[in-house]
Structure 1
Amino acid sequence: MMKKLNVLYTRMENFFFKEDNQAEFLSFFRVAIGLVILLQFTAVLPDFDKLFSSSSIIPQDIMDVFTPDWLITFSKIVSFLQTFGIEERTTIMVTQGLFIALCIFIITGFYSRVSALLLLILQIALLKGSSFFAYGADFFTSMSLFYLMLFPSDQHFSLRNCVFNRKTGTADITPVKRLFQIHISIAYFFSGLDKALGFNWWNGEAIWKAIHLPYSNRDLNIDFSWLAEHPYLLNFIGWSTIIIEMCYPLFIWYKPTQKTWLFLTVSMHIGIALVLNLYYFSAIMIVWNITNFYFELPAKKTAAGSKKKRSVRIPQQIRL
């Protein structure tokens, strides 16, 4: 019994703490998330005043009712700076410039941890102050910035190393990487479980409603009316979504099916982006999937290849 417990403990310890020397995913995650956040913010810039300023579509007084007093929001920051004679327009311009600058610092790897912390505070202030305009992708943005704070993502391929001529350091990133992987696995499982508990996804009703929402299918403008005559396709799409999400923790960790499930999940989000026009949400989820499970695949091959090279013996005839 004790021997089995020791073996189990050793496996768990290796799983969470064994160094895998894989740092490519850090650079990819930093650059990709920084670009996605920057592109999303620049898309919002023309409507910034309508969403976050005192002249927003929904008055700030109404949104403040649903915000705790202790939480720092953008409207509170504006009101605080106005006591020092700083106008709202100035605060908005400084906020926009700071947000873009922090995104660029993250992309280039210039003290990305500090930049991610400051950007997270700023992003939460904007998000919580205008919660009526927030949706799931905004919360995944906050979580992405949180992981950028935990990861030493600017140790490789970074502007900081070039400017200050720093050597690439070594750090055990496996515990945070495993936490990230478990996080996304739990998120997909419960997302699929929530869909499975109802009946809308089983009979295809959820898919039919989604593709006919007012903001959906605006770019491609595909005529989906023919699906009314083929409801089994709606059923298939609904079932497939449930299976992909609920079985994600099982098949994404199993090496023989890891590539297949990663492909299915990324394809699902590409479909969501093209049909439902949820580009920002899909981009973040694709980055999360690739970050967590794509870069593990070549590592195993490399390790196996190196072992084979070390095991090659020199024939006796050619030894000197």
Structure 2
Amino acid sequence: MKTLALNKHLEFAILRVGVAITILSKIAVEFSYTDLLYSQKGIIQAFLSEPLKVTYSVSLPDVVVFLGIQNEHLFLNVLYTLFGISAVMLLIGFKTKINAGICLFIHMIVFNGYNLLTFGFDGFLFSLLFYTLIFPVQKVFSVDRYISKQEDEEILPETYRFYVRILQVHLCIVYFVAGYSKLGGQEWMNGTAIWSAINQPQFYTWFTPMIKSVASNPVVCAALTWGTLFAETLFPLLIWVKWGKIRMVILVGIVLMHVFIGAVMGLQLFAWIMIVFDLSAFGGIFRKESAKIRDRQPGFKAFEDRYPHQLYL
């Protein structure tokens, strides 16, 4: 059986590619509605968004005023086209830092200017774009790496661990706060929160009728509700337990939770960005489990000694 070599810093590639795909998906959803969403004559008028503005931030309305833009339709189309081109370049890893910076700036000015239209998804995209900018993601499965004169340059182990640890701590804080905040909710404690969520019209999807028929059983509904509460609250603890396959089980469970959110509640972009976050921070768990299996394969140790800078699947 042929061995497939994968860079051991695959999490950085997941981060870069996942963020780029997220941006392209966001553009595909919003491009036809940019005037409605983000022009000064759109659905959110200045007198509504202005009180929520952070005074020291740069926002899209500020840029429009500063540049004296008269044709907002053309400006928004050009801006989103640049956003898309930079996202494609980020996807393939060409001029990675420059394009990550452009994507971060464009997302930031839109995010800052229209708080009433932003959700948790936008905040997580902002954070991961920032990490993409400062982490050495251009060194993993990228055009930049292959055209660089320092093609064999490796990411130092201590540098890699430091950056990944930032992602891990950030993610653990996110899940702990999310889980802890639910502990005071009556519907979460009595096991009916999932039933209430899937019955809201704005969350209706093709899967809703099927899930309703299953979740109508009080036992199933309570299991889904308390399972979500358990996964979020205990994730920051169990993800560090190096006993058996606990880490892998909790990671798979949290990923499946987001798959459920995307499929059943229609929050696909939010679900996707969180899965990218999960795998960028803790995707190495799967690699370590695979390594345990490979170590038991005859001849693997000799192969590993010959190519110590690579991991294999």
Alignment equivalent of 1:143, drawn from 121, 127, 130: 127
Aligned ranges for residues 106-117 of structure 1 at < 5 Å? 106-117=90-101
Q: Quick one: distance in 1 between partners of 2:211 and 2:247?
A: 32
- Please tell me whether the aligned partners of residues 201 and 238 of structure 1 are also in contact (alpha carbons under 8 angstroms): yes
Relative to structure 1, the CA distance from residue 163 to residue 94 in structure 2 (aligned partners, 3 Å threshold; closer, same or farther) is farther
Alignment equivalent of 1:236, drawn from 223, 227, 231: 223
- Please tell me whether the aligned partners of residues 81 and 87 of structure 1 are also in contact (alpha carbons under 8 angstroms): no
Q: Which has the larger radius of gyration?
A: 1
Q: How many angstroms does 1:31 deviate by?
A: 0.9
Whether 2:84 is the aligned partner of 1:94: answer: no
Alignment equivalent of 1:263, drawn from 252, 257, 260: 252
Q: How many angstroms does 1:126 deviate by?
A: 0.5
Relative to structure 1, the CA distance from residue 298 to residue 66 in structure 2 (aligned partners, 3 Å threshold; closer, same or farther) is closer
Question: What is aligned with 1:245?
Answer: 232
Relative to structure 1, the CA distance from residue 70 to residue 190 in structure 2 (aligned partners, 3 Å threshold; closer, same or farther) is closer
Runs of 4+ in 1 over 6 A off after TM superposition: none
RMSD: 2.4
Question: What is aligned with 1:9?
Answer: none
Question: What is aligned with 2:3?
Answer: none
Whether 2:65 is the aligned partner of 1:76: answer: no
**Cα deviation code 1:14-50 (max 9, x no counterpart):** xxxxxxx831111122112211221122111111111
**What is the TM-score normalised by the length of structure 2?**
0.84
Q: How many angstroms does 1:247 deviate by?
A: 1.0
**Cα deviation code 1:261-310 (max 9, x no counterpart):** 11111111111111110000100111111222222332465488399847
Alignment partner of 2:183: what SS? helix
Q: Quick one: distance in 1 between partners of 2:261 and 2:24?
A: 21
Please say which of residues 144-153 and 163-172 is displaced more in the overlay: 163-172
Mark the runs of 5 or more structure 1 residues left unpaired by the alignment: 1-20, 311-320
Alignment equivalent of 2:167, drawn from 172, 180, 184: 180
Whether 2:275 is the aligned partner of 1:289: answer: no
In the alignment of these two chains, the number of paired residues is: 288
Mark the runs of 5 or more structure 2 residues left unpaired by the alignment: 1-6, 303-313
Aligned ranges for residues 307-318 of structure 1 at < 5 Å? 309=301
Relative to structure 1, the CA distance from residue 291 to residue 229 in structure 2 (aligned partners, 3 Å threshold; closer, same or farther) is closer
Alignment equivalent of 1:214, drawn from 198, 201, 209: 201
- Please tell me whether the aligned partners of residues 30 and 153 of structure 1 are also in contact (alpha carbons under 8 angstroms): yes
Q: Quick one: distance in 2 between partners of 1:221 and 1:236?
A: 17
Whether 2:33 is the aligned partner of 1:44: answer: no
Question: What is aligned with 2:266?
Answer: 277
Q: Quick one: distance in 2 between partners of 1:244 and 1:300?
A: 21
Q: Quick one: distance in 2 between partners of 1:142 and 1:208?
A: 31
Question: What is aligned with 2:311?
Answer: none
Q: Quick one: distance in 1 between partners of 2:28 and 2:40?
A: 20
Q: Quick one: distance in 1 between partners of 2:264 and 2:168?
A: 27
**Cα deviation code 1:211-242 (max 9, x no counterpart):** 11121123334166656863232222111111
Higher relative contact order (CA 8 A, sep 6+): 2
Alignment partner of 2:207: what SS? coil
- Please tell me whether the aligned partners of residues 109 and 154 of structure 1 are also in contact (alpha carbons under 8 angstroms): yes
Q: How many angstroms does 1:165 deviate by?
A: 5.0
Q: Quick one: distance in 1 between partners of 2:111 and 2:168?
A: 25
Q: Quick one: distance in 2 between partners of 1:229 and 1:115?
A: 48
Please say which of residues 252-261 and 240-249 is displaced more in the overlay: 252-261
Q: Quick one: distance in 1 between partners of 2:300 and 2:86?
A: 45
**What is the TM-score normalised by the length of structure 1?**
0.82
Give the letter for the 1:267 counterpart. L
Identity %: 26
Whether 2:154 is the aligned partner of 1:167: answer: no
**Cα deviation code 1:85-105 (max 9, x no counterpart):** 653233212211111011112
Question: What is aligned with 1:34?
Answer: 20
